[in-house]
Structure formats: structure tokens, C-alpha cells
């Protein structure tokens, strides 16, 4: 992993196994729910539900700084701890949790390379025993790092200027508008398609069969061949922000792209906006200079 820009952002399964009893390392499994966690998890890992633990319960938004601090306090996390995330789907929701921790200013955040898939392929042990949580901490209410988060106005203002890379990490069928959401997903939008000017680079192309990330050279080629100019700011998006967090992690930590943001509003926001410019395939369905109010 030494060819990555920030190799310490990734932790191998072997290294995780060596630090299961380290009080300064908090291991957290994050998924859309805790069903897999409850069936078996890495010893000592805390289980977080993406929907109920990391999302606002009223607004469609991430938890605010006060709720974030309380979540960390209850888990015994201190600002000095290394927080290592892992989960299913090649770390979809784990990457989203890491992005949110970065947004809330936690310094030492990492992904277990390969997630649950890699751990299980290696036949490493799982347990149903609940973790012994560290004593409640005094985690301070953080300030937000807006440099890693894009909002729809920023996306809108970038249209037609060619100054920002828009990377759509959804499936090709979502990008072209053949489908609005992956099968079985509840959160959807009124319209299908993609943001004008976006490049289609599905998140899954960054991963190997065992769930680990491809090499830095392979990743540079993947994005370079798709037309991503690394000298420009980059905004990644998907449907609800979790797959694009995976791509954001690749660009920021593995390739060292200096200005990359995750648009967590993603398609469930853009595809529901009245008057929003949308393309299906290569054909615009509305004028690209229409503003979203």
C-alpha cells in the first residue's frame, strides 16, 4: 500500500487483528442496518446503523456536531483515538462514516482494506459477543470542515464552466436514466439521468474482487482515462452519498487529490429538484442554464 498518497488511511485485516485489544483504537462496523453485525462481527467492534446512528432523525441530513459529539462520547471515543471503519459492500457505508468523521474534524480515521468481505474470505473469527465499551468520554462538540462537502448550489454553479470534475459513481443504468435507483432501494427520485457534464466512473471499478482497493497506478488510469483532470476541483456523487464517499476516499487519501468533495445530497436531491438540468445518456432533457430554486 506504499504507493498510495496516504497509505496510513488504510489498515490491513492482519493489522486490525493485532490491535483488537488496543484501547486507543476504536473499531466500528457500519452498514445500512446492524443485521450482519448481529450475526457476527470482529471481536470488540462497535456496530453502528447508518440510518439511525449517523443520520438526522428528522431532516435529510447528517448528524449535527452536537449529536456527533454525543455519539462519540457514548462509544468511549476520544479525539486522540484512531477510529477504524469497516462494513459490507466493499465498505460503502464505512467510507461514508469515515467521510462524516472527517467532516466533523476527527484527525485519525481509517478504513480496513477489504471490509467484511476480506475478513470473511480469510476465515478470520467473528463473534456475537457485545463489545466492552470504553468509559464514556468527554468528546468536545466539533467544528465542521466544509472543504470535504459539496452542496447543490456549488454543483449548480459549476455547470457548463468546465472548471470542476463531476464524477457520477453510480451504475451505468442509473447514469443513463434506465433506472432511478438500484433494485430494492427505497430512497429514490422523481427523474432518472445524471447531472450535465458528469463523467460516469462506477465506484466498484476502484475495488478488487476481494473488496480491497486497486493499486494507485490502476486508480490513476481509471480516472485519467475517463477524463478526470486532477488539477481541477472534483465533486463525487451517487444516489445518497455513500458510494460517492468510497470514491471520495480513493481520490483524497489514495491518490492525494487536493480538492475533492462528496456531494451527499446526490441524486435523491438533484433528481427531485424542480427545474434541475438533467441529462439522459448524452442528451440533455432541460436547458443547462436553468437554475434550481
What is the rounded (10 degree) CA torsion for 205, 25, 55, 167? -20
Residue 209, by phi and psi: left (phi above 0), alpha (psi -120 to 50) or beta?
alpha
Q: Is 238 a catalytic residue?
A: yes
What value, to the nearest 5°, has the Cα angle with vertex 178 and ends 175 and 183? 90
Q: Which residues of 231-269 are buried (b: 16+ CB within 10 A; e: fewer)?
A: eebbbbbbbbbbbbbbbbbbbbbbbebebbbbbbbbbbb
Q: Cα–Cα distance between 277 and 260 in angstroms, integer?
A: 22
Q: Are 152 and 189 in contact (CB under 8 A)?
A: no
Q: Cα–Cα distance between 74 and 71 in angstroms, integer?
A: 5
Q: Cα–Cα distance between 292 and 124 in angstroms, integer?
A: 50
Short-list 249, 237, 92, CA closest to 154 = 237
Helix (H) or strand (E) run with residue 236 in it: strand 234-237
Q: At what angle do helices 92-103 and 242-249 cross, to 10 degrees?
A: 70
What value, to the nearest 5°, has the Cα angle with vertex 238 and ends 63 and 157? 85
DSSP SS3 for 275? coil
Please tell me which residue in 207, 228, 238, 251 is annotated as part of the active site: 238
Residues designated catalytic: 238
Amino acid at each position: 500500500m506504499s504507493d498510495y498518497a496516504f497509505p496510513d488511511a488504510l489498515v490491513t485485516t492482519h493489522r486490525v487483528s493485532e490491535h483488537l485489544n488496543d484501547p486507543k483504537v476504536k473499531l466500528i462496523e457500519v452498514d445500512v442496518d446492524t443485521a450482519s453485525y448481529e450475526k457476527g462481527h470482529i471481536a470488540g467492534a462497535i456496530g453502528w446503523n447508518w440510518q439511525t446512528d449517523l443520520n438526522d432523525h428528522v431532516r435529510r441530513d447528517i448528524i449535527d456536531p452536537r449529536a456527533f459529539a454525543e455519539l462519540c462520547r457514548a462509544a468511549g471515543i476520544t479525539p486522540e483515538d484512531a477510529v477504524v471503519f469497516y462494513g459490507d459492500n466493499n465498505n460503502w457505508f464505512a467510507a461514508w462514516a469515515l467521510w462524516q468523521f472527517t467532516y466533523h474534524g476527527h484527525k485519525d480515521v481509517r478504513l480496513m482494506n477489504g471490509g467484511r468481505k476480506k475478513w470473511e474470505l480469510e476465515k478470520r473469527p467473528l463473534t456475537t459477543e457485545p463489545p466492552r465499551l470504553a468509559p464514556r468520554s468527554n468528546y468536545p462538540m466539533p467544528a465542521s470542515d466544509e472543504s470535504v462537502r459539496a452542496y447543490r448550489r456549488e454543483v449548480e454553479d459549476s455547470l457548463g464552466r468546465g472548471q470542476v470534475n463531476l464524477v457520477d459513481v453510480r451504475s451505468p443504468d442509473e447514469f443513463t436514466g434506465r433506472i432511478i435507483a438500484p433494485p430494492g432501494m427505497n430512497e429514490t427520485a422523481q427523474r432518472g439521468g445524471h447531472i450535465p457534464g458528469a463523467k460516469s466512473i462506477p465506484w466498484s471499478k476502484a475495488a478488487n474482487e476481494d473488496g480491497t482497493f486497486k493499486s494507485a497506478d490502476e486508480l490513476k488510469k481509471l480516472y485519467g482515462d475517463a477524463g478526470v483532470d486532477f488539477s481541477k476541483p472534483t465533486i463525487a456523487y451517487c444516489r445518497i452519498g455513500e458510494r460517492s464517499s468510497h470514491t471520495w476516499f480513493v481520490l483524497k487519501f489514495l491518490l492525494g487529490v487536493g480538492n475533492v468533495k462528496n456531494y451527499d445530497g446526490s441524486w435523491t436531491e438533484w433528481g427531485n429538484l424542480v427545474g434541475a438540468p438533467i441529462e439522459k445518456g448524452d442528451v440533455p432533457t432541460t436547458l443547462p442554464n436553468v437554475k434550481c430554486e
